[in-house]
Amino acid sequence: MSSHTIAFIGLGNMGAPMAQNLFKAGHTVRAFDLSAAACKAAALEGLTVSTSASDAVNGADIVISMLPASRHVELLYLGDTGLLRKLPKGTLVIDSSTIAPASARKVAEAASGAGLAFLDAPVSGGTAGAAAGTLTFMIGGDAADLERATPVLRNMGANLFHAGGHGAGQATKLCNNMLLAVLMIGTSEALSLGQSLGLDTKVLSEVMRRSSGGNWALEKYNPMPGVMDTAPASRGYSGGFGTDLMLKDLGLAVEAALASGSSVPLGGLARDLYAAHSKAGHGGLDFSSVIGMLSPGTLRK
């Protein structure tokens, strides 16, 4: 495997371990974050910390960004002071933030215009997957660019899916996560109803998992406390994928539905239930804690 000089912008809960995995794999990582604390922590881990994003990209043949929202990504890359103006032709730019597909396409177009290769490559798998290097990447862009990025992405993730052209990675992620929210609430309703009817939720979970109700939540992430030892539900809904992160992704999905005139009755309702759950003070709990809206007892265990 060839070694690269990689500029990594955004050292949050996800970005920090991802950058760390690149470093461990033998790449030169030039890291930057607006938070001094994040930079300091990265330096302690051995990464080369830059004083600005434009400093970080000096000498880099690959740029990776992992930022909170569309506006941060656009600010980083676009405009007179954006990175796209500074990068040498041929640089490979990978944005792993979860943002609006339209925003990803805007950056991709500007990158193409500047002779750069661009991939939108949002991830799933949470902080645990980021630390373990087992993330799933949903990728939009040209196949040749993806081929070039593959060895580097494999340093951070276990599954790489080529979803289509520019923006398709983001579009795929928001479709998937909207569906995930529906699976999670639907599964919670079935378990909560079953419990009210006197069923053993362990047995019910197992039967549905192997029947036509089978889905990822029953397989890996059961929301009812006590059914699955490894799930956040069995440790007070700590860790995992936070309610407020799910709410953000559902916001992107609903926004895309508005823009495309799509009808998403269950997905839209899931978004409003998560908003209510967050407003009730549970934004920091794992997203499977939404079962508490149906069975309040689950949140007290």
Q: How far is the CB of 67 from a copy of itself (least distance, A)?
A: 19
Tokens of 27: 């790449």
Give the nearer residue to a copy of itself in terms of CB position, either 41 or 207. Answer: 207
Could you tell me the smallest distance in angstroms from the CB atom of residue 16 to a copy of itself? Answer: 22
Q: Are 271 and 254 in contact (CB under 8 A)?
A: yes
Q: At what angle do helices 201-209 and 168-196 cross, to 10 degrees?
A: 140
Closer by beta carbon to a copy of itself, 50 or else 124: 124
Please pick, among 86, 106, 173, 248, the residue that the annotation labels catalytic.
173
DSSP characters for 27-79?
-EEEEE-S-HHHHHHHHHTTPEEPSSHHHHTTT-SEEEE--SSHHHHHHHHSS
Residue 113 or 265: which CB sits closer to a copy of itself?
Answer: 265
Which residue lies nearer to a copy of itself by CB, 20 or 177?
A: 177
Phi-psi region of 24 (alpha: psi -120 to 50; beta: other; left: phi over 0): alpha
Q: What phi and psi values does residue 118 have, to the nearest 5 degrees?
A: -130, 140
Catalytic-residue membership of 220? no
DSSP class of residue 156? T
Closest CB 4 distance from a copy of itself, rounded Å: 26
Minimum distance of a copy of itself from residue 101's CB (angstroms): 6
Catalogue the active-site residues. 173
